Structure 1
Amino acid sequence: MSVYLDCNATTPVEPAVLEVMLRYLAEEYGNAGSRTHEFGVRAKQAVERAREQVAAVVAARRDDVIFTSGATESNNIALLGLAGHADSASRRHIVSTTIEHKAVLEPLEHLRTLGFDITLVALDSTGRIDAQAILAAVRSDTLLVSVMHANNETGIVQPIEVIAAGLPDEVWFHVDAAQTFGKLIDPLQNPRIDLISISAHKVYGPKGVGALISRRRLGNRPPMAPLMFGGGQERGVRPGTHPVHLIAGFGVAAQFALRDHAQRTATCLRFRDDAVTAVQQLGGQINGAEEHCLPHVLNVSLPGLNSEAAMVSLKGMLALSNGSACTSTSYEPSHVLVAMGLDQERIDSALRLSWCHATPAVDWQHVCQVLRRMM
């Protein structure tokens, strides 16, 4: 059976998460907006309990949590929702980076067509953004700085704490934390981060639910306008009937992530040691600075080996990828590896391995034998 090594695309669902989801599908199926009977009351209680569980991971308040369909929607609300405030504040400049997920880069391009000035800060082959370059790009008319916490393709963690410490009070700070929520705890508890985008399915919860954390700072929340209309749910920012089973599952996943993150990290690091040894035996190169990489991610280039051919040869042994799942239908070079300045051969041979605490052991010697025959 193939070993799943694509956890950056989506993680397996924890059994306890599935159990609570089934209960709110089959037994407690009320609408959280129904105030007139006990089914609705219990559904609302489940939603509010999950809100507390998600908020606890980032040391936020319960009412800071806005449930969404996932980090892509959260990113769109954070970026596009602030656009209406730009004119009244005389701030139409946004700072971000060249390695953001498409769920950030594409909304930024849309804002550019509306007359916003977008600065994308570049990086080098380490895959890590220079915090001082971000801060130097901030101007008197800057509305927002948006920087991902860790890159989904390389796993390289960005210096969000340094950026947060150096930003002027009047600039809002958004972090796409899809890859780090529940995995790197302390950095996301920084109260200077105003907006955090997260997805449940990256942290052993269900697909189709996520959240936008919107913190109060200096007495005010980021002044976001809704992108959809039709109800008062989620403080009017994100209307629609709550998917109670998904939200309840997300809450349990968040609770487990906070409780077990140290143990999970240690397990992932042990797996990483074996994977790095195998890469070294093949003469491979790790893309990005190892000292800044998440414990459960490796982006590697194997000399003389096309990544597509490698994935085909390993089918049935390893399930892995060569980039973001959100752009997997495209065979264009990774915009992240291009931004890092890697040469074409290294980009073409790049593979992403991402695992979790539940990933079984891999027969790395057999994997190396298969790949050597192709090199």
Structure 2
Amino acid sequence: MEGSVYLDCNATTPLDNSVREVLLKYLVEEYGNEGSRTHEYGARAKQAVQRARDQVASVVGAKREEVVFTSGATESNNLAILGLAPQGEKEGRRHVVTSRIEHKAVLEPFEELERRGFEVSWLEPGPDGVVRPEALADALRPETLLVSLMHVNNETGIRQPVAEYTRALEGHPAYFHTDAAQGFGKDLEGLRNPRIDLISVSGHKVYAPKGIGALVMRRRGYSLPPIRPLVLGGGQERGIRPGTLPVALIAALGEAAERAEREQAQRCKTCSAIRDRALAALSALDPVPSGDPTLSLPHVLNLRFPGVDSEALMVALKDLVAISNGSACTSSSYKPSHVLKAMGLSDDEANECVRISWCHLTPEVDWEAVAARIWALR
């Protein structure tokens, strides 16, 4: 709505100006097909794609050849999870592990594995929103094929202890996948651990366009994870994800990745300042944080205002700020958040929670006016 400040950056982010320039350049001027090897248009397109591989790989400490471009984290998650299934069936390793707080793009592929005869261990979070590494260690079996635990939760903003998960996996052959849609380019060190085999990336969560993402596939020794393609019909991306490469989208993601890495500290500082102003204005309302707020990235607040329905709150604030009460992928459903329920909240409590998420591009917010509107609903 015109006049309201956008505070739903966990759903999608605005396009960075420099990213827009790169996108338009490869849409309008350098429109060659990366697979065309007989002329300079194709050669320049290939150079742009290779540069983007380097830019994305740098953020997580990977190598160019370990980056596969996809349409976004949903496809990357499906490719990582379902693409490993044939290897598990071949080796008789039909046990997999995930958690109850994952995005639907992870939960539903695991449900599909269950339908195919795999056994899934579903790990529960604590009230703080964290899945304990001890729970992972207890769930591992000799026949465990895959562990998929997210990097940062999309609803609460809470960082999961990825480094501790990797320690729990020491000496175990299971592949470790993390859905990093919310943390890529924001929490850098968490994704640079070489024990993370598979990393899902989404462009539109890091100031790039929608419709582009990546799956980082780290080598073990000389071997990439044995992912089978979900789509057939071409040799692009080493046959793992065939189809004509969207050069403009890829180049834009590369630019966004490079800027995120270079500007991470300043962006964090800006977001922390916005968080401080928000909490200062809202504290008199005694909001209840969802999970441990000290574990959250600085651009997210998930708060419960007891006695105030989240739907009524969003309507009351819509001319001031644009916020949400859960994942955009499930916003058409009025069911309570599966993440908050897994953390122990009742249906009524979950329905009182709102997610407020901003970024370094967010303009000034009249937090006092926001607080006054919430007071009026009580």
* 1:343, distance to aligned residue in structure 2 (A): 2.3
* Unmatched runs of 5 consecutive residues or more in structure 2: none
The 8 Å contact of residues 279 and 300 in structure 1, kept in 2 or not, is answered as no
Distance in 2 between residues matched to 1:90 and 1:18, nearest whole Å: 47
The answer as to 2:267 corresponding to 1:261 is no
1:246 corresponds to: 249
Matches within 5 A, 1:166-181: 166-167=168-169, 168-181=171-184
1:362 corresponds to: 365
The answer as to 2:213 corresponding to 1:210 is yes
2:79 corresponds to: 77
Opposite residue 148 of structure 2, the aligned amino acid is: S
2:103 corresponds to: 101
The answer as to 2:145 corresponding to 1:113 is no
Opposite residue 227 of structure 1, the aligned amino acid is: L
* 1:103, distance to aligned residue in structure 2 (A): 0.2
1:344 corresponds to: 347
SS of match in other structure, 1:211: strand
Matches within 5 A, 1:1-375: 1-167=3-169, 168-375=171-378
Structure 1 stretches of 4+ with a deviation exceeding 4 A read none
Opposite residue 217 of structure 1, the aligned amino acid is: R
Deviations 1:220-267 (A, max 9, x none): 221000000010001100000010100000000000000000000011
* 1:278, distance to aligned residue in structure 2 (A): 2.7
Query: Please, which moves more after superposition, 283-292 or 105-114?
Result: 283-292
Distance in 1 between residues matched to 2:144 and 2:58, nearest whole Å: 30
* 1:88, distance to aligned residue in structure 2 (A): 2.1
Opposite residue 363 of structure 2, the aligned amino acid is: P
* 1:348, distance to aligned residue in structure 2 (A): 1.1
Opposite residue 197 of structure 1, the aligned amino acid is: S
Distance in 2 between residues matched to 1:189 and 1:123, nearest whole Å: 24
Q: Equivalent pairs: percent with the same residue? A: 57
Deviations 1:306-346 (A, max 9, x none): 00000001111100000000011011110000000112332
* 1:195, distance to aligned residue in structure 2 (A): 0.1
Normalising to structure 2: TM-score of the pair?
0.98
Deviations 1:60-106 (A, max 9, x none): 00000000000000000000000000122221000110000000000
Opposite residue 63 of structure 1, the aligned amino acid is: E
Distance in 1 between residues matched to 2:224 and 2:164, nearest whole Å: 22
Opposite residue 168 of structure 2, the aligned amino acid is: G
The 8 Å contact of residues 7 and 357 in structure 2, kept in 1 or not, is answered as yes
SS of match in other structure, 1:279: helix
Distance in 2 between residues matched to 1:166 and 1:159, nearest whole Å: 11
SS of match in other structure, 1:264: helix
Opposite residue 295 of structure 2, the aligned amino acid is: H
